[in-house]
Amino acid sequence: MAYDIRLMKLVTGELVIGKYDTGKDCLNEVAALQTVPTQQGVQMMMMPYGYPFEPNFSGTLDGSAFLYRYANTPKELQDKYIEATTNLTVAGGLGKLQFGATPGAGGSGLII
């Protein structure tokens, strides 16, 4: 089953990603995105929305909380979201965004 994974900016200024339900105008299984400065630049962290009080990707946000709806969600970000919510690895295409180890450091390019 294919999901419509979308990136939204909330009225609070937070960036979130989740499975968009067109009929209910809401995001399900919501994850919050945070940027973390590192010595190599900026990395993104993805965690359940409401963490640490909500440890699972089970939250739902109503469309009235959306300030901005991004027209396109980067494929790399969608892949990372799928990996975070399912504990499965998506092969390929993660070179543009840094979510962990430095790309090109002798690894296979797969997240384990």
Residue 103 lies inside a defined structural domain of this protein:
no
Q: Which domain holds residue 75?
A: 5-86
Q: pLDDT tens across 1-18, in order?
A: 578 999 999 999 999 999
Higher pLDDT, residue 88 or 24: 24
Band (72; pLDDT cuts 50, 70, 90): very high
The CATH number for 53's domain is 2.30.30.100
Residue 105 maps to a domain: no
The whole-number pLDDT of residue 1 equals 55
In a domain, 109, yes or no: no
Specify the number of domains making up the chain: 1
Q: What is the 3-state secondary structure (H, E, C) of the chain?
A: CCCCEEEEEECCCCEEEEEEECCCCEEEEEEEEEEEEECCEEEEEEEECCCCCCCCCCCEEEHHHEEEECCCCCHHHHHHHHHHHHCCCCCCCCCCCCCCCCCCCCCCCCCC
- The closest alpha carbon to 65, from 82, 51, 49, belongs to 49
Q: Establish if 58 belongs to a structural domain.
A: yes
Give domain status of residue 91, yes or no: no
Task: Flag whether the pTM goes above 0.85.
Answer: no
- Asked whether residue 17 is domain-assigned, the answer is yes
Give the mean pLDDT of 62-69: 94
